Amino acid sequence: MIAPPALVAVAGTLAAAIIDARTGYIPNAVTRTTAVTALAVALPSGSMQAALGACVAGGVLLALHLLTRGRGLGLGDVKLGAAIGAGLGPWYGIAALAAAFIAGGAYAAFLIVRGRAGRRDAIAFGPYLAAGTSIAAFAGACFPAGAFA
């Protein structure tokens, strides 16, 4: 069974993916609501994993945003990463990001090889964050919580 905070993260990233695919923008209302709700749902467990996950996943994406000076990754993606970490915790949050980068990179490579895009063309990353979050949430339901501890 998928944990309730992870379900919040999946639902929030799916909403963000739809908006990002249509507009190229992830609204603060979606990222904020997802992060706060995931943290609130995780709070009764007494674990700090949700807060740690938000810091780790959001921090990784923030570092990438700063390294690329905002050209490779937008702040909406960074904030959505924090919401993903809040829902999945640090280890599955990182797994979600890894899956998102693999899927997004594969799609970008496909577009480049097919001549449909160049190296500098932007693609919406929200759908890949949603896919990675869904994969990691399912993995978290299939494997014991201490598998990555």
> pLDDT of 35-48, one tens digit each?
999 999 999 887 89
Q: How many domains are there within the chain?
A: 1
142: helix, coil or strand? Answer: helix
CA atoms of 95 and 97, how far apart (whole Å): 5
- Read off the pLDDT of each residue in 52-65 and give the average, rounded to a whole number: 97
Asked if 25 contacts 31 with a C-beta cutoff of 8 angstroms, the reply is no
The single residue listed with the structure tokens 């904020």 is 32
| pLDDT value for 57 | 98
Over the stretch 85-135, which tens digit does the pLDDT of each residue have? 999 999 999 999 999 999 999 999 999 999 888 888 889 999 999 999 999
**Model confidence at 28: pLDDT above 50:** yes
Range of the domain at 103: 4-148
